[in-house]
Chain A
Amino acid sequence: DIQVTQSPSSLSASVGDRVIITCRASPSITTYLNWYQQKPGKAPKLLIYATYRLQSGVPSRFSGSGSGTDFTLTITSLQPEDFATYYCQQSYNTPYTFGQGTKLESK
């Protein structure tokens, strides 16, 4: 199975900050990497697919980059509604494994 490791597991930030979450896959998954946001008691929501493609309706302050084994999700100018848990997911091969999540909290 492809291993997906996300870091950090938790992060404290303030409104207006720039936040970076990283995801490492082993072995290479080319660009088959997606990012989801989940708020407490809610279903995950797709933010970015295929490494950098923004899902319709997602604000442009969210962006993704990377390829192969190393990927990042960047949130520029953090907004109050962005405090949530973020998951990366590889869709290169089944089983479609997720990272363990990054909980983004208000400082």
Chain B
Amino acid sequence: QVQLVESGGDLVKPGGSLRLSCAASGFTFSDYYMTWIRQGPGKGLEWISYISSGGATTNYADSVKGRFTISRDNAKNSLYLQMNSLRAEDTAVYYCAKFTSSSEVYFDFWGQGTLVTVSS
């Protein structure tokens, strides 16, 4: 069965950096786009980035563009999110999700999330 396990969340000071990881299993990781979505405390869902199956194409929400970088290692079945210049408003649970992008586009499996807290 599909499993996605995020890690790397932590308490970090404003202006700091953090790298999140997402370990995938139960499907052919290299065949699928992947994506990150976050949810601020008591708030709704915000899509922040996706990466194509081979890693050549990426896309970002304006709120993180230039500060966050998505990447993947298909040999390790792993997805990453490098987060730099962190702000208080980046505080959230970060989810990775498997992204089906064909004639339909949807996020069909999600990890359990990892908490990032940005505070001094």
Q: A: which residues have CB within 8 A of B?
A: 32, 34, 36, 42-46, 49-50, 53, 55, 87, 89, 91-92, 94-101
B94 to chain A, nearest CB (A): 11
In the bound complex, CA of A86 to CA of B95 (Å): 17
In the bound complex, CA of A32 to CA of B113 (Å): 25
The DSSP consensus for interface residues of chain B is strand
- 14 A/B residue pairs, CB under 8 Å, sorted by A: A34-B106, A42-B112, A43-B112, A43-B113, A44-B45, A49-B104, A49-B106, A87-B45, A89-B106, A94-B61, A95-B61, A98-B47, A101-B44, A101-B45
Which partner residue on chain B sits nearest A48 by CB separation? B106
Q: B44 contacts A100, CB within 8 Å?
A: yes
Q: B108 contacts A96, CB within 8 Å?
A: no
B41 to chain A, nearest CB (A): 12
Q: Which of A32, A42, A46, A95 lies in contact with B108, CB distance below 8 A?
A: A46
Q: B62 contacts A95, CB within 8 Å?
A: yes
Which partner residue on chain B sits nearest A46 by CB separation? B108
Residue numbers in B under 8 Å from A36 (CB-CB): 45, 107
Contact with A along B44-75 (1 / 0, CB 8 A): 11110010000000010110000000000000
Q: A87 contacts B108, CB within 8 Å?
A: no
